[in-house]
């Protein structure tokens, strides 16, 4: 597309500003949620079936990036990118080791994706890797301070600093309730008086309207978490919505600037995967009723693609049947 080619010719310093213009244009035309439907997309090349991968949108390359996961039998180390029309594997001679359960988020100060955690066999990783969308390459860092290795931690862009923060994760015997911040070259543990209960596999989504990050659900010490917290970059606050989803875990969400809300699809709930769609407006949850939905699943990816104006769900699997998916769905008006 000529518009895409022009976009990629813009200098890195201008790229973030252009994306913000796209987002705020979308914010001004909020859509009626009653007209929604999920529809399968038809990529020129599909994503091979996989689950439990790390995923994040990279505004430098203008692509959704995913790493690792499993196809249901083999633990993977591949990097894939989606440009809105095609899934492509990214050649990466230097890359993280094979793993599942890692997490990744964009650092808007260093302009890199930050990947942390995950496991392979009995090894829980505590290495930190950076993905550069300008060169499509991975680099391992060597921070002086290193968090304990964790599985399914929550990584997200800090609403104040623009760096990547990390909360929670499964440590091997216990669950974490620690909040860490990536400074661009080191991890710093934040000393906070109040924080969410220990957990992993939670939903964590940056909400640009309310300038915070919303965290919901997850698993912790043999019980499923059902509460909503927000992080403003300085402190955690437990919210008290009148309505909320059932306990959810191993699902993801994203901020949809067309709806002006955080949207969450699917996930596990007390041993049964879901295919419901929920929206968080900053103070309350609402269950949406799309005309059509993807099949139920967990451990998949959810992403708003600002370049192509798409809210997407991709990959994952059904815990109850073992089916592994490589499909890509878009939330759209009917």
At 65-95, the pLDDT tens digits run 999 999 999 999 999 999 999 999 999 999 9
pLDDT of 225 reads 87
Position 7 pLDDT exceeds 60: no
Domains of the chain by residue range: 2-333
Copy the structure tokens of residue 219: 């698993």
Copy the structure tokens of residue 139: 């680099």
Residue at token pair 């249901």 = 72
- C-alpha to C-alpha distance for 281 and 19, rounded to whole angstroms: 22
Question: Strand 87-89 relative to strand 79-82: parallel, antiparallel, unpaired?
Answer: antiparallel
- C-alpha to C-alpha distance for 262 and 285, rounded to whole angstroms: 9
pLDDT of 12 reads 36
At 85-141, the pLDDT tens digits run 999 999 999 999 999 999 999 999 999 999 999 999 999 999 999 999 999 999 999
Residue 96: name the closest of 123, 61, 59 by CA: 123
Residue 92: name the closest of 107, 110, 80 by CA: 80
- C-alpha to C-alpha distance for 276 and 245, rounded to whole angstroms: 9
At 26-57, the pLDDT tens digits run 433 345 566 899 999 999 999 999 999 999 99
Cβ-Cβ contacts under 8 Å for 214 (sequence gap 6 or more): 203, 204, 205, 207, 228, 229, 230, 253, 262, 280
For the domain covering 2-333, report its CATH number: 2.120.10.80
pLDDT of 221 reads 87
pLDDT of 292 reads 96
Q: Which whole-number Å values give the CA distances from 324 to 49, 141, 264, in the listed order?
A: 6, 32, 20
pLDDT of 334 reads 66
- C-alpha to C-alpha distance for 296 and 323, rounded to whole angstroms: 10
Contact 330, 41 (CB under 8 A): yes
Copy the structure tokens of residue 129: 């890797």
At 220-275, the pLDDT tens digits run 987 888 999 999 999 999 999 999 999 999 999 999 999 999 999 999 999 999 99
Higher confidence at residue 14 or residue 257? 257
pLDDT of 1 reads 37
At 148-182, the pLDDT tens digits run 999 999 999 999 999 999 999 999 999 999 999 99
Percentage of the chain exceeding pLDDT 90: 87
- C-alpha to C-alpha distance for 257 and 31, rounded to whole angstroms: 9
Higher confidence at residue 276 or residue 9? 276
Position 317 pLDDT exceeds 90: yes
Position 216 pLDDT exceeds 50: yes
Residue 116: name the closest of 171, 195, 48 by CA: 171
Residue 119: name the closest of 49, 68, 182, 179 by CA: 68
């Amino acid at each position: 597309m000529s518009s895409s080619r022009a976009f990629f010719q813009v200098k890195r310093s201008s790229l973030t500003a252009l994306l913000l213009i796209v987002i705020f244009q979308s914010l001004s035309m909020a859509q009626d949620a009653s007209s929604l439907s999920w529809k399968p997309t038809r990529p020129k090349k599909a994503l091979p079936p996989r689950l439990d991968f790390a995923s994040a949108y990279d505004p430098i390359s203008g692509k959704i990036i995913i790493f690792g996961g499993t196809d249901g039998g083999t633990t993977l180390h591949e990097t894939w990118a989606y440009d809105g029309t095609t899934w492509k594997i990214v050649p990466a001679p230097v890359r993280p080791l094979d793993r599942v359960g890692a997490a990744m988020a964009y650092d808007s100060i260093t302009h890199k994706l930050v990947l942390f955690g995950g496991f392979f066999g009995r090894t829980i990783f505590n290495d930190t890797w950076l993905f550069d969308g300008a060169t499509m390459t991975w680099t391992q860092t060597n921070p002086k301070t290193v968090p304990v290795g964790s599985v399914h931690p929550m990584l997200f862009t800090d609403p104040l600093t623009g760096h990547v923060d990390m909360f929670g994760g499964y440590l091997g015997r216990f669950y974490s309730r620690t909040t860490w911040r990536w400074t661009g070259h080191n991890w710093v543990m934040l000393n906070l008086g109040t924080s969410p209960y220990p957990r992993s596999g939670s939903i964590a989504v940056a909400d640009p309207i309310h300038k915070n990050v919303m965290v919901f659900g997850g698993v912790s010490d043999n019980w499923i978490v059902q509460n909503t917290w927000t992080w403003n970059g300085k402190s955690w606050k437990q919210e008290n919505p009148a309505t909320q989803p059932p306990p959810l875990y191993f699902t993801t969400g994203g901020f949809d600037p067309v709806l002006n809300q955080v949207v969450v699809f699917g996930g596990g709930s007390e041993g049964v995967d879901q295919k419901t769609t929920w929206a968080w407006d900053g103070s309350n949850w609402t269950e949406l009723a799309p005309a059509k939905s993807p099949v139920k699943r967990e451990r998949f990816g959810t992403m708003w693609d600002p370049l192509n104006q798409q809210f997407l769900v991709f990959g994952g699997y059904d815990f109850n049947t073992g089916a592994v998916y490589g499909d890509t769905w878009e939330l759209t008006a009917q």
